[in-house]
Structure 1
Amino acid sequence: MNESEGPDGPVAGSDEPRRPPGTDSATPASEEAERRSPSDEGDSQGGSHDEDTDALRRLRSWLKDHAGAVIGWTVSIVLTTILGWYLTPALEVRSDRAVERDQQERAKGKDSLDWEASYNFSPMDGYVYAMPGVLPAKTQKKLIVPTPLDEDYYRDLLKPHGAVQMGHPLDATPASRKMLTRVRVNLTGQQADPVLIKGITAHVLKRHKPLSGTLTVGAGEGEGEVVKVGFDLDAGDRISARKMTDSGHLGNRYLDSKYITLKQGEPIVIDFVAFTANCHCEWQIDVTTRSDGHDEVVTIDDGGRPFHSTGIAHKYRSEFQYVFPSGEVSHFKEIAPKYRE
């Protein structure tokens, strides 16, 4: 009967030799490596190779099945890029032409010029108004009673009675009956093609004797703007605009040495003066233009009504003299009408 010795001694019935302390029964790594067959490594490498081969075969098969589509996509991208280089400038030109056509369509039916016009008297012209009749007593009272200073007060008071405002020309003498009217005109081109202004004339529609009912006289103050364009309404029924000299005389035709061309939306402001000593004139401004090979006459007036100008009459039925303000109020006083040559 075999007997075992202590923990580290031989075990009964066992023929295995004793192992040194600290070792176990596990197979060492080196022995495991020796037991591994070389063919196992070969199998592992071969599996990876087979997987790569299968992937390549699948890629080739896909390319073979989809070759037409791939070529089509490639050609499409290349052609799109090339055509973009050549067609983009052409498309931009077409876009510009479309804008021009749109502007031309919108301009159809419109005058060559858009305009605004208004009287443009300045403080230097004073309060000189002529009316066709005698003012009602109620209005005369308002004219005489001292009133807080207001440039528009007298104009608004007298306008319902047919008042026509006047200014004194620079070259007027004390005995002169020639007076002026100031008009400011804003012109704006409104055609796709540039608008050439060929001519500017005053067209006198009606002539009457100078207004001789009531006259208010009030000298102006300060200096006015020098106006460069004028009409002599006593020179005929159609009068060309003329340049103004620094002394206030009419010179050469305004457009003889000056060309005015307006693009679409481009503005210009022209201040006119019209002179008369002999009439109460109703008149308008005719502007002749040329655009896109066509001539046109644009009529400018006072909002559908003619402009009014009048010279000084020989005598009025009533007159009022402006009293220069004392403090913050002003007024007129009635004076005896006087005869003017």
Structure 2
Amino acid sequence: MATNPYYWYLPCDHAFLVDRSPENVPKPPPQQGAVGWAAPLKAVSANRQEVVLTVQGTGPETVILEDLHVRVVSSGPALDWNQYVMGNGCGGQVDTKSFDVSLDLGTPTATPIGGQRDFPYSVSESDAEVFHVTAHTSGQDVRWYLELEWSSGGRHEVTRVDDHGRPFRTSASRDASSYAYPLGGDGGWELVEGD
């Protein structure tokens, strides 16, 4: 199983909260560099976070993916940090089949959206599945992870899905203003006032 904790289809679809001034934040990374950019800054996904799971069997037997559970480790007030958008000047977004998670609910669940059916699924060595899980919050700072329940033959297990051993972390931003880095520009971050 492979996990991408910071996926975005368009750069303006993702923002991070960083407890630093714009002069001390490097320019935004390409998506494949997001982990290396976010980790040293202790950046937190702002408002929403899309996690992509790629699941594939490792042997000749079919694996049944029974269910996907959301587990909240902690929840507190939204972070009062600066918001940095990963791109500027983007167009419309393309819908993907995904699961939606409202972290503001007392017991968040992964709900299928975009016409995607709910669990169970099956995978094998030659047949993988890719799941997009979009978690969002409008007022909290939430640490969370997923549990993938699966069975194969006589085995029934639960695999934790997280950010390389740490919970995912998603926080609402305190206001709508953000910093954006002009496409093709090298002039640094520019403040974009919110509505």
Give me the identity figure in percent. Answer: 18
Specify whether residues 138 and 150 from structure 1 end up closer, same or farther in structure 2 by C-alpha distance, changes over 3 A only. Answer: closer
Alpha-carbon separation, structure 2, partners of 1:161 and 1:328: 22
SS in 1 for 2:104: helix
Name the larger-Rg structure. 1
Q: What RMSD in Å do the two structures reach over aligned CA positions? A: 3.4
Alpha-carbon separation, structure 2, partners of 1:305 and 1:165: 14
Deviations 1:78-132 (A, max 9, x none): xxxxxxxxxxxxxxxxxxxxxxxxxxxxxxxxxxxxx11012123253562212x
* Aligned equivalent of 1:227: 96
Specify whether residues 138 and 198 from structure 1 end up closer, same or farther in structure 2 by C-alpha distance, changes over 3 A only. Answer: same
* Aligned equivalent of 1:269: 130
Matching residue's letter, 1:205 = V
Gaps of 5+ in 1: 1-114, 144-148, 167-178, 247-251
* Aligned equivalent of 1:209: 77
* Aligned equivalent of 1:329: 186
TM-score, length basis structure 1: 0.47
5 Å-filtered alignment, 1:98-113, equals none
**What is the CA distance between 1:212 and its match in structure 2?**
0.8
* 1:123 aligned onto 2:22: no
Alpha-carbon separation, structure 2, partners of 1:253 and 1:232: 18
SS in 2 for 1:160: helix
Alpha-carbon separation, structure 2, partners of 1:296 and 1:160: 33
For these two proteins, the number of residue pairs brought into alignment is 191
5 Å-filtered alignment, 1:90-101, equals none
**What is the CA distance between 1:330 and its match in structure 2?**
4.9
**What is the CA distance between 1:150 and its match in structure 2?**
6.0
Specify whether residues 235 and 127 from structure 1 end up closer, same or farther in structure 2 by C-alpha distance, changes over 3 A only. Answer: closer
Higher relative contact order (CA 8 A, sep 6+): 2
Higher strand share: 2
Superposed structure 1 runs of 4+ greater than 6 Å apart: none
Specify whether residues 313 and 253 from structure 1 end up closer, same or farther in structure 2 by C-alpha distance, changes over 3 A only. Answer: farther
* Aligned equivalent of 1:303: 164
Deviations 1:202-234 (A, max 9, x none): 211121221112223564513434232221111
5 Å-filtered alignment, 1:132-281, equals 133-135=19-21, 139=24, 151=30, 159-166=39-46, 179-217=47-85, 219=88, 221-228=90-97, 229-237=99-107, 239-245=108-114, 254-255=118-119, 259-281=120-142
Higher helix share: 1
